[in-house]
Structure 1
Amino acid sequence: MFAVLVAGSAAAVEAQGARVAGVVREQGGRPLVGVIVQIAARNGGSVGSDTTGSDGTFLVAAPTAIPLLLSARRIGFEPVTITISPLANVERRAIGFTMSSLVRLDVVNVVAERDRPLLDTRGATTGGSIARRELERLPTDARDPITLAYTLPGVAQATGFFGDAPKLTINGANALYTQYTLDGLENNEGFLGGPRVEVPLSALSNLEVLANSYSAEFGRSSNGVVNMTTRAGGDVWSGEAFVYSRPGLPLDARAATVPRGTRADDFRRAQEGFKRAQFGLAGGGPLAVNTRVFGTVELTRETEDRIASTASTVFTGREQRDSWKLFGRVDHGWSPTQTTTLRTAASIIDRAGEGSGIVAPEADITTRRVGTVTALTHRSSLRGGRASNDASAQFSTFLWAFPPTVASSRGRPQVTIFQAAGDDTVAVGVVGSSNFIFDEAERQLQLRDVFESRIADGHRIRIGADVARSQFTLGASQTNPAGSYAVLDEGNIPSRGNRYAFGDVPSDVRVLSYTVDAAQKQVDLSQTLYGVFVEDQWRATPALTVTAGLRWDYDDITSRGASIADLDNFQPRAAVNWLVRPSMVLRGGAGLYAGKFPYAVYSDAIQFGPDGNQTVTFDGAAAPRYLQGPRTATLDRSTLPPGEVRELFSLGLEQPMSTQFTLGGQAEIGRTAAISIDGVWTGTRNLPRSWDLNASTRGIGPNDVTSLPVVQGDQFRPVQPVTGGYRRLSTTESGGRADYAGLYTALRLNVRRDLTLDVNYVLSRSRNDTEDINFNATQGNRFDLEWADAVNDRRHKASARATWTAARS
């Protein structure tokens, strides 16, 4: 009877007692397993303890009405102590906090892959990431990881203005200004932008897009960063091989809609010609006790029909596309505190047209893009894991060329064949060459060092600096030095099945016009980028993280010509992340973000300067006999008609700069789902655009309903165009602006251990007054009249992705 009474009394006390419950997370937001959580009275004496499970949760019974101390310990992490105010009777106090990890740089920790957490408890960065498991399982278009990034908030497929334009836009900005990094190092094609190396999908462990409020560690972009993390070899040998075939119709589904402005029959015929085959190998593992290796190679071959038509018939052309992507990485641990990584990547992208429409195969376009990056990084752990240093050196190359087709040569002119059609003429054939020569090469050396240290009172200081110097060689860029002819077929040029050949054009053919570049300009110059940052991540409390940083960037292109070096690009940035409850985060951020200029801004100014390229056309009676036209070196520029001449930054340059604000929050729903809502605003200034120093003041009135010859505006220009002079005197200046406002919403749901679903919707608007580096105002320099929705504005964007892993025996 006594025993029963005692047991009943103890149960009553337990029922009336208080409890402390919560979730322990590492700084990035992942739940921490194996944390020992202890509750003690402030005046001494342990009360109870618990060890967190795989979901990071703990539950400890605690006395009431007295102040308490909570302490949390786990190997490899900074200990945490929290003061708990007195608990009421039967109260259940919910506490959430994070723990900062110590730096461990043995090779096992360096190569380890980490899952994406439901909550971000570190900062206020918007955008998102795609983890290794998703990269491995999600379907992609041609195994291009960039296409997976389109499923992230703030990211969309870009609209570009040339065939090889970058494919990704962040917050509706021009895709040229997005920064690409590989393991934190440069991976930008410097001439116009976009990735230098197209990294194979198998080589990535994580793909992250930083859209707003990101760390001061990342710079050189006024909108966002695409940061790829490469894959390392594991503790056991493993590999994969794949063969993909997309044979086209009838296995491919027919497109349900026809693109606007395209003839339905032509579009269907082009779809019938599409085929793709892909092959690849990847593998890695322990080469020695402290050495891990990984490598991959991928090949993609595609053919696609292109449809073009003339007044007489419709032609089917074909383009062949081949791409090789290679990657290799070696990680060696010298000790538990010293690890070195050597990695290299390369991509070779070839596109070759085989004729389309009236264009003969010999006159079609071929393109080759070859990029390489090789980096050496040494990581050091210092002060018992409370500090670290990463030192890196990287050498990169890039080649972008438009070589002649196999059936042509650089010495051939392009010949466009016309036939009479009433009082007019119509083009019926293009032979000889593509009439476009481009041969650009870049070599870049980057040095980077980042030091991190924990100091008293929860501060983590990061200091870093880097310099990247690029040397460019532009061997050719403009029309073929042999020129291009427009000739008239008067029944003396035979055709071969609605196609013509260069060898069939007779020497006495009637020449309608001849166009040639008066001065092919070779431009061999450089660009150097400097960056320095300091950042303090302060854990004001175990639930509140405040990050404040300052970054400085300098692009030495701003010191060229009449411009003065833009040295005041200081960018303060701040972010707050508050774990309000164990399953809820409020976050916000603000900052300045400086971009850099594509090298083409500088190169174009030289190439088309007073002594640069000048394309001129001789027509009518001034046209030379066929194949007798003057070559570049024989032209007297003083006798040429007025054209456009560029001055080198005569109005000065300032680097693009954006002001960014974000405010939002995240919340876990149970242990398997999380939602987030973020408001974003970005205002960008100093965007490059083309300014006419000799602009016409005429403007466009309501009665101007037809096009007029360009000479009609000459009388309204400050300087009258004359032979040997100029009509447009242009320069690149940095007065362009853009605004973006958006609302990001996202849901992540772990339906089961083997099924994850990500859904997001973005409502946004993007506007600007200039779209690209060489955009001109429609009327003089009235860019205020150009303010409108951006070409990359995506007002409504919804996306979803799901990954499912089949059960393994």
Structure 2
Amino acid sequence: MKKALLTIFALFIFAISALPQSQSTTGNIVGRVIDANGALVPNVTVNATNRDTGFAKTAQTDGEGNYLFILLPPGNYVVEVLATQGFAAAKYENVLVTVGSKTSLVITLNAGGSENVVNVESGGQAVETTRSSISSTVDERRVQNLPTNGRNFLDFAVLTPGVVRDPTRSGDLAVGGQKGTLNSIQIDGASSDNTFFGQSSGRIGSGRAPSQFSIDTVKEFQVNQNGFSAEFGRAAGAVINVVTKSGTNRITGSAFEFFRDESLNARNPNLVSANRPRPAGQINQFGGTVGGPIKKDKTFFFFAYEGQRSDLPNPVVLRSLPFAPIEAQNIIGPKAQPYDISREQDTFLAKIDVNLNEKNQLWFRFNNQDFTGTNLENAGTLSAEEHTGNSNVKTSTITSNWTTTLTPNWINEFRFQYSRDREPGQANTNDPETSVTASAGGINDGTFNFGRNNFSPRETLINRYQFIDNQTYLMGNHTLKYGADILIDRIFNFFPGLFGGSFTFTSYANLVAKTPSRFRQSFGGAGTTGGTTRPNNNEYGFFVQDDWHAAQNITVNLGLRYDYQRIKRPPIQNPDPNLLSAGFDTSFRPSDKNNIAPRVGISYAFNDKTVLRGGYGIFYGRTPAIMTGTAHSQNGIQV
């Protein structure tokens, strides 16, 4: 830990004196300036101004008339050239910059006369001719207008080609056929991954918490599927970049209420044929946003709140129970009652943006999620209420970003995040788990479960510290980017699997006779932490990327990335000589230090509407800590 802190301190000192760009939260405008005859116009000043916040940057065309704006927050820009060198002024309005984009814009100057004003939006969506990666962007308009069931912004990702819900695990996204555990989600450029379960923070969309924050806070997000820059790592599937909204020079706000009730639903054909009523259930979603200026063109605020309430029934169905022995009916009958499953969540997000001056910009974001899932640990028609418990989630995140422009071609961006993801699961009883084959009267219902389920109570807690510094240096037709990303997770995991004991009965009669076919129980070893493990995780990432504008219509992207994941060594070595002689060391810690990932991409633009892209890369995913936590405890001694 001491070495890690020294490394972080050195990185911070380097960050405040260096120079970067990150496309995980920003975009670029790239183009050239020409005259009415198509001749290049060098050495003219080009200005880009965000229409909503007044944020402005200036660039100078080079000897070939090329210009480049980097590190632009997503939004609507005005790009203009003042009257110069005998040319009239030119203004291009509604130049849209999206997350990770490289918006191409050719500026045409006319000789003398009045200002030339062009509405770029009226020309339709432009093709990014300088990007070699395959990615899709879901913009603010689609986020606002497309319906979602549950208001989870990740649902929009399935609108992009090659992205589906992972059929092997609820809530995950499968991109290009890869498992959901191989994806990485970034919120405002910082990790939003639950590194223990290999899902998103708060495990949103997995059947528990519906969302980490309101969908109304999302400005846009980008799904990077193939050939993405060396800037992005820790993902062998996709990298999903999410940018949250900021305040603007206008005071804006919204409020919403969505209500669903069984009385509003139609009966499906199965209910009609069985002459059964609609199942009871209510879902209520409500909240709002407000944002605006604290000081015009300087300081802005944005705040959002969302609450969700749902109450759904969980029927218990045992058609064979009336044919079971009366003693079995007396035991199981009181436990086979229907119960409710409810979800209650409150989330809020607050963000402050500060334009200190032309060279320094800051923003701070805090978001909090508090979710209680009553009887959500286990459910189903063959699970008693005492076989479940509350499944809760509480996440809190503080993220900040400081961007410094030292010279027009030298920029630094430093980012810090602290987050806490706590997910306890509770048990409704301490009685041993009991599983009974529910079969009688020619009816086999399956296996009915009551008593404490074998994995509750439980708890997982992740405290995260993340330090990021990305840098950019412009050299002629080369854009050189390099940076470092250090992520430190301190993980607590309590999983007393089968500590309460578990009986298995193959029939109602065996239950009455108290003759189980199997009994299982685990115990914590003497002098060990039992079901408690701390599979801490440190991740170090370094990259360099060169985007080379080789010709007017050819862009070559060359990158190299190195990732190292340092997992905590298992604390106990089983001294059994047979294990050791066979080469099984339960204290062994793998150390994979050769994760060198080259990236190569090229784009060839036939014209401003047609581009050919190609690329090659090696990508590495992370090992979820649930695997290392299991290795820590399942050594024949601790559990």
TM-score by length of 2: 0.72
**Match for 1:101 among 69, 91, 100?**
69
Aligned with 1:556: secondary structure? strand
Provide the residue aligned with 2:385 in structure 1.
Answer: 361
Provide the residue aligned with 2:416 in structure 1.
Answer: 393
The answer to whether the aligner puts 1:123 opposite 2:142 as a matched pair is no
User: What letter is aligned with 1:598?
Assistant: P
Q: Structure 2 vs 1, CA of residues 483 and 392 (structure 1 numbering), >3 Å: closer, same or farther?
A: same
**Match for 1:381 among 399, 405, 411?**
405
Cα shift at 1:351: 2.4
5 Å-filtered alignment, 1:6-85, equals 37-38=34-35, 60-61=36-37, 69-71=40-42, 74-75=46-47, 76-79=58-61, 82=64
The answer to whether the aligner puts 1:286 opposite 2:268 as a matched pair is no
Q: Which moved more, 1:128-137 or 1:99-108?
A: 99-108
User: What letter is aligned with 1:484?
Assistant: S
Matched-pair contact (CA < 8 Å) for 2:28–2:69: no
Q: Structure 2 vs 1, CA of residues 412 and 158 (structure 1 numbering), >3 Å: closer, same or farther?
A: same
User: What letter is aligned with 1:138?
Assistant: L
Distance 1:270 1:568 in 2: 61
Cα shift at 1:541: 2.6
Provide the residue aligned with 1:440 in structure 2.
Answer: 460
Provide the residue aligned with 2:553 in structure 1.
Answer: 543
Distance 1:264 1:191 in 2: 45
User: What letter is aligned with 2:247?
Assistant: G
Distance 1:264 1:557 in 2: 56
Distance 1:81 1:270 in 2: 76
Cα shift at 1:297: 1.2
Aligned with 1:368: secondary structure? strand
Q: Which moved more, 1:553-562 or 1:441-450?
A: 553-562
The answer to whether the aligner puts 1:114 opposite 2:119 as a matched pair is no
**Match for 1:588 among 591, 601, 614?**
614
Cα shift at 1:172: 1.3
The answer to whether the aligner puts 1:188 opposite 2:209 as a matched pair is no
Aligned with 1:567: secondary structure? coil
C-alpha offsets along residues 744-789 of structure 1, whole Å, 9 cap, x if unaligned? xxxxxxxxxxxxxxxxxxxxxxxxxxxxxxxxxxxxxxxxxxxxxx
Provide the residue aligned with 2:182 in structure 1.
Answer: 177
Cα shift at 1:232: 0.7
Aligned with 1:594: secondary structure? coil
Q: Structure 2 vs 1, CA of residues 307 and 589 (structure 1 numbering), >3 Å: closer, same or farther?
A: farther
Aligned with 2:284: secondary structure? strand
C-alpha offsets along residues 533-589 of structure 1, whole Å, 9 cap, x if unaligned? 011111223332211111000011397743552111111111112222132212111
Matched-pair contact (CA < 8 Å) for 1:105–1:381: no
Provide the residue aligned with 1:483 in structure 2.
Answer: 501
Matched-pair contact (CA < 8 Å) for 1:448–1:467: yes
Cα shift at 1:441: 1.0
5 Å-filtered alignment, 1:376-525, equals 376-383=400-407, 385-405=408-428, 408=429, 411-416=430-435, 421=440, 430-437=449-456, 438-455=458-475, 457-479=476-498, 481-486=499-504, 513-519=518-524, 520-525=530-535
Provide the residue aligned with 1:370 in structure 2.
Answer: 394
The answer to whether the aligner puts 1:246 opposite 2:260 as a matched pair is yes
Which ranges in structure 2 are unaligned for 5 or more consecutive residues?
A: 1-25, 48-57, 78-94, 102-124, 203-211, 322-335, 525-529, 571-586
Q: Structure 2 vs 1, CA of residues 412 and 548 (structure 1 numbering), >3 Å: closer, same or farther?
A: same
Which ranges in structure 1 are unaligned for 5 or more consecutive residues?
A: 1-26, 39-59, 63-67, 84-97, 494-507, 614-809
Cα shift at 1:421: 4.4
Cα shift at 1:511: 6.0
Aligned with 1:150: secondary structure? helix
Provide the residue aligned with 1:351 in structure 2.
Answer: 373
Aligned with 1:120: secondary structure? coil
Distance 1:337 1:31 in 2: 20
User: What letter is aligned with 1:74?
Assistant: V
Distance 2:236 2:340 in 1: 39
* Larger Rg, first or second structure (1 or 2): 1
Distance 1:149 1:535 in 2: 27
- The alignment covers a number of residue pairs equal to 512
Matched-pair contact (CA < 8 Å) for 1:103–1:381: no
Aligned with 2:59: secondary structure? coil
User: What letter is aligned with 1:435?
Assistant: N
**Match for 1:228 among 234, 237, 242?**
242
5 Å-filtered alignment, 1:148-167, equals 148-161=156-169, 165-167=170-172
Distance 1:245 1:567 in 2: 52
Cα shift at 1:310: 2.9
Cα shift at 1:454: 0.8
Cα shift at 1:372: 2.1
C-alpha offsets along residues 279-328 of structure 1, whole Å, 9 cap, x if unaligned? 01111111234211111111112233445533427986542222322211
5 Å-filtered alignment, 1:394-793, equals 394-405=417-428, 408=429, 411-416=430-435, 421=440, 430-437=449-456, 438-455=458-475, 457-479=476-498, 481-486=499-504, 513-519=518-524, 520-557=530-567, 561-613=587-639
Distance 1:174 1:269 in 2: 40
User: What letter is aligned with 1:174?
Assistant: K
User: What letter is aligned with 2:424?
Assistant: A
Distance 1:254 1:172 in 2: 36
User: What letter is aligned with 2:501?
Assistant: G
User: What letter is aligned with 1:217?
Assistant: E
Distance 1:570 1:558 in 2: 22
Provide the residue aligned with 2:309 in structure 1.
Answer: 301
Distance 2:273 2:568 in 1: 50
Provide the residue aligned with 2:226 in structure 1.
Answer: 212
Distance 1:584 1:74 in 2: 26
User: What letter is aligned with 1:375?
Assistant: T
TM-score by length of 1: 0.57
Q: Structure 2 vs 1, CA of residues 486 and 147 (structure 1 numbering), >3 Å: closer, same or farther?
A: same
Cα shift at 1:166: 3.6
Matched-pair contact (CA < 8 Å) for 2:510–2:516: no
Aligned with 2:567: secondary structure? helix
Q: Structure 2 vs 1, CA of residues 475 and 423 (structure 1 numbering), >3 Å: closer, same or farther?
A: same
Cα shift at 1:119: 1.0
Aligned with 1:121: secondary structure? coil
Matched-pair contact (CA < 8 Å) for 1:284–1:295: yes
Q: Structure 2 vs 1, CA of residues 254 and 219 (structure 1 numbering), >3 Å: closer, same or farther?
A: farther
Matched-pair contact (CA < 8 Å) for 1:352–1:366: yes
